C-alpha cells in the first residue's frame, strides 16, 4: 500500500492542485505532497502539451483523463473508486474547467466524492489561523486575498501579471546573454536553478544594483546540467532575478504596493490584523530572503506620502512557514493561473474601455454605430434562478430568450426559504440556466453587449452566486457589467411591452417588499411609503401554510398567494370574518401586514378548536376565510395607494399635463383581485393601470436584462468596475418622501370599488 490505513480503516482522500505549470498531488494529513509533476500530457506525436491550453471542452476532458490516469495509477498507486478526492481551488476558477475536471473524475474514474476547497482558506489552516492576508506567488501571476474570520474579502482582491514565469524569463534571458544555449534550458531546469541558486537580495543592494552603484555581486556558482555540462550562474543573476517582483516603473504595481493596496481596500477595523498576519504561498515563496525584502519595502512605503495619511499601520509581520516543502502544499489553487490570466487580460480591456468612455456614455457609443442593444440578465436575489436575454426594439424590448429554475416546491417543504439551501440550488442551476437561455435565443455571447445582474437587495448568499457568475462571463467574454437594483427592475418591467412615459406611480408588492414610489426616470425614484414589517406575499404564504391548503390536492404546488386567491374565488357561503384595518389612524402611505397575519393566525387556531379539526385537516370555512383575508389585504393596499395618488397630484409629482399611469409590479401583482382593486382606485383619478405579463411579475432574468437596456439607453456614464461591484443585502429605493407624506396629513374620502372576487381558474404556473 502506498500509504498506511488509519486506525478506523478509512482511506485518506487524495489531494490535488492542478496549476498552470505543475500539479501537486498527495494524501490528506501528510506534511507535503507525494509528487510534483508538470501539468502536461503527450499528444499523438509524443510532444508535450500543456493541459490548460485547450481548444474545446472535449479536448480538455481528454487531457484531464490522461493526467489523472498518470496520477492514480503511476504515482499514487491507488484505485480512484476507493478514494475521496479533494481539489483545492481558486475562487475564480472558471466553471468550464471545474465542470470538466469533475466530469472526468466522476464519469471516467468513478470517484466516490469530490470536494472543492478554496485555496486561501487551506493556506490558513496550515497555520491554525482564520485571519490573514494571503499572498499567492503563482507561476503566471501573483494574487492577494485578505481573509478575515474565515471569510474572503473579495472586494480587496489584487492581482498582477508577474510570478514564477516572469522570474523564469529573466533567468533564461540572462543565461542566454552569457552564452548558454537556450534550447537546453527547459522550464524544469530553470525552476531548479531558481530554487537552488537564486535569492531575493536586500533592499539596499537592490537599489545600488538598479542605479549601477553596486561594487560587486555575490559569488558565481556552478550548476551541473544533465551530469555533463556545467552552467556558470553569475552572481548578478542570482541577486537580480527576483527583481521583477519589485518594478520601479508605474506600469505594474510592485508586490509591496499590491499588498498595501489590498489592505487599504479592507474596512479599517480589519487592517491591523491583516498587516500583522501575512502568509506567503506558491512556488516563488520558497525564494530565500523574500519575506525580509517585502517587509523592508512595505515599511518604506508606509512612510511615503502615498500611504502615511491613508493607512495607519505600524507593524508588518509575516508568518514563518512550517517547512520549506509545505510552501508547495499551500500552492493548491486549481487552475488559478489560467483563470487569473483570463482575468488580467480582460481587466485591462475593461480599464481601457472605462478610459475610452470617461466622457461619453456606453449607450451613446452603441447608437453611434447604429446598433440595437442586446443584454443578458441574471436574477438570483431570493429563491428563483432566472436568466433572460432582451433585445432593444425601439423604445421597447423584445425577449429572445428566458429560463427560470424555481425552488418553490423545495422551500414549501421547509415552511420558508432557507438561505444556504437556496444558495446551493442557485449554484447548481446558474450555469445550466445561462447556457439554456443562450441556446433558446439562438445567439452567441459575442452578440450580447452587456451582462446585467441583480446585486441588491436580497439574500446575500443568493446574490453572491449570480454576481460571481456574471463577473465570470464579463471577464471571459470582455463584456461590461451592469449592477441592478432588484426593485427598480420590477418597477420598470411593464415598460418592456407598453408605452409608459415617465413619470408614473408604481406599487411594488411581493413576498419581500411593499413600496409605493413615483418613477421619474430609469434611476430616479421617490419613495412615498413602504411596509414597516411584513410584505403582503409573506403574509399570504404564512396564512396559506397555517390553513394547510397544501394538503388539498387542488392547491398542491401553488404559491401561498395563488392558493388563497383561488380558494377565495370559490367562496359561496355568506359567513363573514372580520379583520382590523392596519394603520387606520395614520395619514401616511406606510404599510403593515404583520397585524393582519397575526390576527388571522389566532382566528385559525380558534376555528380549529371550535371545529375539532385533525392536525392535517383544514377548517371547513377556509374558502370564506381566504376571501375575507384577501379582501382585508387589498383594502389596506388600496387605501395607502389612494393617499399616495392624492399626495402626488397635490405636490405636483405627477402634474396635470402628464399622462397618468399606475404600474403594479412584483409577484403579488399577479393577483387579479388586488390588481383590479388598485386599477379601480387609479381609474377614479384618471390613471391607466398596467402590469407586466404574469410570468414576469415574479422574479425573473428578463426584467434584469430590460433594466440593463434602460440604463444604457438613458446614457449614464459607464463606470462599473468589476472589483467594485459587491452584494448589498439591504438598500433603499430612491429618495424618501415618507416623512413629507405623513406631515401633509391628507384626509381621503375612500373610493368605493366592486369587492366581488371573480372565479379564478386553478393555474399552478402563476
pLDDT 10s digits, 72-102: 999 999 999 988 898 888 777 788 888 899 8
> φ and ψ at 328, to 5 degrees?
-70, -40
Residue 722: name the closest of 473, 448, 533, 369 by CA: 473
Classify residue 347: in a domain, yes or no. no
In this structure, the answer to whether residues 270 and 121 fall within a common structural domain is no
Classify residue 67: in a domain, yes or no. yes
Residue 462 burial (C-beta neighbours within 10 Å; 0-12, 13-18, 19+) = buried
Give me the mean pLDDT over the 550-566 stretch: 90
In this structure, the answer to whether residues 476 and 424 fall within a common structural domain is yes
Please state the three-class secondary structure of 263-329 as a single string: HHCCCHHHHHHHHCCEEEECHHHHCECHHHHHHHHHHHHHCCHHHHCCCCCCCCCECCCCCCCHHHH
Which one-letter DSSP state was computed for residue 764? T
In this structure, the answer to whether residues 511 and 654 fall within a common structural domain is yes
Whole-Å CA distances, 389 to 15, 336, 447, 479: 40, 30, 11, 14
In this structure, the answer to whether residues 95 and 149 fall within a common structural domain is no
> Please, are residues 453 and 703 in contact by the beta-carbon 8 Å criterion?
no
In what order do the strands lie in the sheet containing 113-118? Answer: 35-38, 22-27, 14-18, 84-89, 113-118
**Residue 720, SS3?**
coil
Whole-Å CA distances, 243 to 146, 171, 198, 221, 257: 24, 11, 11, 19, 14
In this structure, the answer to whether residues 66 and 113 fall within a common structural domain is yes
> φ and ψ at 5, to 5 degrees?
-70, 155
In what order do the strands lie in the sheet containing 481-485? Answer: 396-406, 384-393, 374-379, 450-456, 481-485
In this structure, the answer to whether residues 117 and 99 fall within a common structural domain is yes
List pLDDT tens digits, range 407-459. 876 756 666 678 889 899 999 999 999 999 999 999 999 899 899 999 999 99
pLDDT band with cut points at 50, 70 and 90 for residue 360: very low
Which one-letter DSSP state was computed for residue 246? S
Domain boundary among 73, 97, 127: 127
Between residues 764 and 303, the one the model is more confident about: 303
In this structure, the answer to whether residues 427 and 464 fall within a common structural domain is yes
Classify residue 2: in a domain, yes or no. no
In this structure, the answer to whether residues 26 and 107 fall within a common structural domain is yes
> Please, are residues 692 and 665 in contact by the beta-carbon 8 Å criterion?
yes
Residue 703: name the closest of 374, 379, 372, 362 by CA: 379
Number of independent structural domains in the chain = 4
**Residue 564, SS3?**
helix
Which one-letter DSSP state was computed for residue 533? S
Task: Round to whole Å and give the CA distance between 491 and 602.
Answer: 35
Domain boundary among 109, 127, 145: 127
Classify residue 365: in a domain, yes or no. no
E-assigned strands of 486-559? 504-509, 514-521, 524-530
Helix or strand run (H / E) with residue 704: helix 701-713
Task: Round to whole Å and give the CA distance between 282 and 262.
Answer: 18
CATH code for position 665? 3.30.420.40
**Comparing 133-147, 588-602, 661-675, which segment has the lowest mean pLDDT?**
133-147
Classify residue 393: in a domain, yes or no. yes
Give me the mean pLDDT over the 250-262 stretch: 81
Classify residue 47: in a domain, yes or no. yes
Angle, alpha carbons 35-40-41 (nearest 5°): 110
What b/e string do you get for 671-689 counting C-beta neighbours within 10 Å, with b at 16 or more?
bbbbbbbbbebbeebebeb
Cα 509 to chain centroid, rounded: 26
In this structure, the answer to whether residues 484 and 547 fall within a common structural domain is no
Give me the mean pLDDT over the 730-749 stretch: 95
What proportion of the chain, given as a percentage, has pLDDT over 90? Answer: 51
Interacting residues of 639 by C-beta distance below 8 A, sequence separation 6+: 581, 748, 750
pLDDT for position 341: 37
Count the Cβ atoms, other than its own, within 10 Å of residue 320. Answer: 7
CATH code for position 233? 3.30.420.570
Domain boundary among 77, 106, 127: 127
Classify residue 360: in a domain, yes or no. no
In this structure, the answer to whether residues 378 and 400 fall within a common structural domain is yes
In this structure, the answer to whether residues 282 and 391 fall within a common structural domain is no
Q: Where are the alpha helices (DSSP H) in 321-397?
A: 326-329, 336-356, 362-368
Cis peptide before 503 (omega within 30 of 0): yes
List pLDDT tens digits, range 669-702. 999 999 999 999 999 999 999 999 999 999 999 9
In this structure, the answer to whether residues 225 and 304 fall within a common structural domain is yes
Average pLDDT over all residues of the chain = 85
Q: Which range marks the domain in which residue 82 is found?
A: 14-127
pTM score above 0.85? no
What proportion of the chain, given as a percentage, has pLDDT over 70? Answer: 88
Classify residue 664: in a domain, yes or no. yes
Whole-Å CA distances, 132 to 272, 278, 340: 10, 6, 21
Amino acid at each position: 500500500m502506498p500509504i498506511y490505513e488509519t486506525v478506523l480503516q478509512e482511506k485518506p482522500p487524495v489531494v490535488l492542485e492542478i496549476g498552470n505549470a505543475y500539479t501537486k498531488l498527495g494524501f490528506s494529513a501528510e506534511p507535503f505532497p507525494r509528487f510534483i509533476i508538470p501539468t502536461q500530457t503527450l499528444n499523438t506525436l509524443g510532444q508535450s502539451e500543456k493541459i490548460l491550453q485547450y481548444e474545446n471542452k472535449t479536448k480538455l476532458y481528454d487531457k484531464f483523463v490522461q493526467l489523472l490516469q498518470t496520477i492514480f495509477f503511476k504515482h499514487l498507486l491507488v484505485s480512484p473508486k476507493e478514494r475521496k478526492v479533494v481539489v483545492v481551488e481558486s475562487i475564480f476558477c472558471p466553471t468550464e474547467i471545474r465542470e470538466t475536471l469533475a466530469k472526468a473524475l466522476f464519469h471516467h474514474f468513478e470517484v466516490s466524492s469530490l470536494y472543492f476547497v478554496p485555496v486561501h482558506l487551506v493556506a490558513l489552516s496550515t497555520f491554525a489561523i482564520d485571519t490573514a492576508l494571503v499572498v499567492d506567488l503563482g507561476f503566471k501571476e501573483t494574487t492577494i486575498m485578505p481573509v478575515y474570520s474565515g471569510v474572503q474579502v473579495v472586494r480587496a482582491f489584487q492581482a498582477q501579471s508577474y510570478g514564477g514565469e516572469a522570474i523564469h524569463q529573466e533567468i533564461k534571458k540572462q543565461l542566454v546573454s552569457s552564452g548558454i544555449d537556450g534550447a537546453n534550458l527547459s522550464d524544469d531546469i530553470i525552476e531548479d536553478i531558481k530554487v537552488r541558486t537564486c535569492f531575493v537580495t536586500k533592499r539596499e543592494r537592490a537599489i545600488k544594483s538598479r542605479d549601477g552603484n553596486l561594487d560587486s555581486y555575490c559569488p558565481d556558482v556552478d550548476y551541473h546540467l544533465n551530469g555533463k555540462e556545467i552552467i556558470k550562474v553569475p552572481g548578478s543573476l542570482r541577486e537580480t532575478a527576483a527583481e521583477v517582483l519589485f518594478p520601479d516603473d508605474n506600469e505594474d504595481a510592485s508586490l509591496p504596493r499590491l499588498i498595501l493596496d489590498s489592505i487599504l481596500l479592507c474596512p479599517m477595523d480589519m487592517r491591523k490584523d491583516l498587516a500583522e498576519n501575512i502568509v506567503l504561498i506558491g512556488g516563488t515563496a520558497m525564494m530565500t530572503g523574500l519575506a525580509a525584502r517585502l517587509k523592508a519595502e512595505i515599511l518604506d512605503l508606509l512612510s511615503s506620502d502615498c500611504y502615511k495619511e491613508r493607512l495607519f499601520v505600524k507593524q508588518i509581520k509575516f508568518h514563518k512557514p512550517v517547512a520549506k516543502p509545505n510552501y508547495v502544499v499551500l500552492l493548491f489553487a486549481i487552475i488559478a493561473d489560467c483563470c487569473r490570466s483570463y482575468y488580467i487580460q480582460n481587466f485591462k480591456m475593461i480599464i481601457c474601455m472605462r478610459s475610452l468612455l470617461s466622457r461619453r456614455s456606453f449607450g451613446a457609443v452603441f447608437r453611434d454605430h447604429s446598433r440595437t442593444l442586446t443584454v443578458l440578465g441574471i436574477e438570483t436575489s431570493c429563491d428563483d434562478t432566472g436568466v433572460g436575454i432582451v433585445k432593444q426594439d425601439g423604445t421597447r424590448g423584445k425577449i429572445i430568450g428566458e429560463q427560470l429554475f424555481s425552488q418553490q416546491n423545495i422551500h414549501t417543504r421547509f415552511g420558508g426559504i432557507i438561505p444556504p439551501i437556496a444558495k446551493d440550488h442557485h449554484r447548481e442551476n446558474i450555469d445550466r440556466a445561462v447556457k439554456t437561455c443562450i441556446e433558446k435565443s439562438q445567439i452567441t455571447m459575442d452578440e450580447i453587449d452587456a451582462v446585467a445582474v441583480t446585486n441588491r437587495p436580497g439574500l446575500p448568499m443568493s446574490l453572491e452566486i449570480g454576481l460571481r457568475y456574471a463577473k465570470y462571463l464579463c471577464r471571459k467574454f470582455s463584456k461590461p457589467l451592469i449592477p441592478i437594483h432588484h426593485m427598480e427592475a420590477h418597477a420598470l418591467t411593464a415598460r418592456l411591452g407598453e408605452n409608459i412615459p415617465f413619470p408614473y406611480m408604481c406599487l411594488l408588492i411581493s413576498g419581500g417588499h411593499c413600496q409605493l414610489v413615483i418613477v421619474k426616470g430609469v434611476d430616479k425614484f421617490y419613495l412615498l411609503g413602504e411596509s414597516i414589517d411584513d410584505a403582503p406575499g409573506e403574509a399570504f404564504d404564512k396564512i396559506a401554510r397555517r390553513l394547510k391548503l397544501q394538503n388539498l390536492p387542488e392547491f398542491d404546488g401553488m404559491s401561498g398567494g395563488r392558493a388563497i386567491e383561488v380558494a377565495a374565488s370559490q367562496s359561496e357561503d355568506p359567513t363573514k370574518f372580520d379583520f382590523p384595518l392596519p394603520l387606520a389612524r395614520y395619514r401616511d402611505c406606510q404599510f403593515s401586514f404583520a397585524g393582519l397575519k397575526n390576527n388571522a393566525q389566532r382566528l385559525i387556531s380558534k376555528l380549529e378548536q371550535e371545529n375539532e379539526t385533525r392536525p392535517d385537516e383544514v377548517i371547513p370555512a377556509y374558502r370564506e376565510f381566504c376571501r375575507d383575508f384577501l379582501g382585508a389585504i387589498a383594502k389596506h393596499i388600496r387605501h395607502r395607494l389612494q393617499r399616495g395618488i392624492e399626495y402626488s397630484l397635490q405636490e405636483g409629482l405627477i402634474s396635470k399635463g402628464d399622462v397618468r399611469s399606475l404600474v403594479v409590479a412584483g409577484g403579488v401583482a399577479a393577483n387579479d383581485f388586488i390588481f383590479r382593486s388598485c386599477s379601480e382606485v387609479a381609474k377614479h383619478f384618471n390613471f391607466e393601470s398596467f402590469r407586466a405579463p404574469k410570468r414576469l411579475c415574479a422574479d425573473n432574468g428578463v426584467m434584469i436584462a430590460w433594466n440593463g437596456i434602460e440604463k444604457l439607453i438613458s446614457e449614464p456614464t459607464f463606470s462599473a468596475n468589476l472589483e467594485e461591484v459587491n452584494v448589498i443585502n439591504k438598500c433603499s429605493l430612491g429618495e424618501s418622501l415618507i416623512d413629507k407624506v405623513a406631515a401633509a396629513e391628507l384626509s381621503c374620502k375612500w373610493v368605493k370599488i366592486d369587492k366581488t372576487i371573480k372565479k379564478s381558474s386553478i393555474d399552478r404556473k402563476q
